[in-house]
């Protein structure tokens, strides 16, 4: 089956630094990738949608200058949390959509736990 990986699986950084999270589709080309954020006991909240070679579309309330998304190839998308602060600590999940799948069908990565101290 289609596999999506994320790296790193967890990261601790100091306040004010930047952190990059990678999302890769290992055995397929993803036309669209999505980034979600999940707080404890909360649902996944979509942050942005990215298509290869074009700018990401951010959801309302998500700061595009803080959460930089790059989708340079059909198998790789990156999320950079710039000037991280403790309130950015969260679980970040990416997913990928394969062309031809039904609406709502996505392949998810295992997530990245970010802790900002």
Residue 14 interacting with other proteins (CB under 8 A): no
Q: What stretches of 1-117 adopt beta strand conformation (E)?
A: 4-7, 10-13, 19-25, 32-38, 44-51, 57-58, 67-73, 76-81, 90-97, 107-108, 112-116
Q: Which is nearer to other proteins, 84 or 107 (CB)?
A: 107
Shortest Å distance, C-beta 103 to other proteins: 5
- With binding defined as CB under 8 A, does residue 105 bind other proteins? yes
For residues 106 and 100, is the Cβ–Cβ distance under 8 A? no
CB closer to other proteins, 18 vs 26 = 26
Across the strands, what pairs with 97? 32
Alpha-carbon distance of 95 to 105, in angstroms, equals: 10
Each residue 63-102 as x (binds other proteins by CB under 8 A) or -, in order, gives ------------------------------x-x------x
Residue 47 interacts with other proteins (CB under 8 A): yes or no? no
Q: Given the rule CB under 8 A, which residues bind other proteins?
A: 4, 6, 34, 41-44, 46, 49, 93, 95, 102-111
């Amino acid at each position: 089956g289609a596999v999506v990986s994320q790296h790193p699986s967890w990261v601790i950084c100091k306040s004010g630094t930047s952190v990059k999270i990678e999302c890769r589709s290992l055995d397929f080309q993803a036309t669209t990738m999505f980034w979600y954020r999940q707080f404890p006991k909360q649902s996944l909240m979509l942050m942005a949608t990215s298509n290869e070679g074009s700018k990401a579309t951010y959801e309302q309330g998500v700061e595009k200058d803080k959460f930089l998304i790059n989708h340079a190839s059909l198998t790789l998308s990156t999320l950079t949390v710039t000037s991280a602060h403790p309130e950015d600590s969260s679980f970040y999940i990416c997913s990928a959509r394969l062309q031809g799948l039904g609406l709502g069908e996505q392949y998810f990565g295992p997530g990245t736990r970010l802790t900002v101290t």
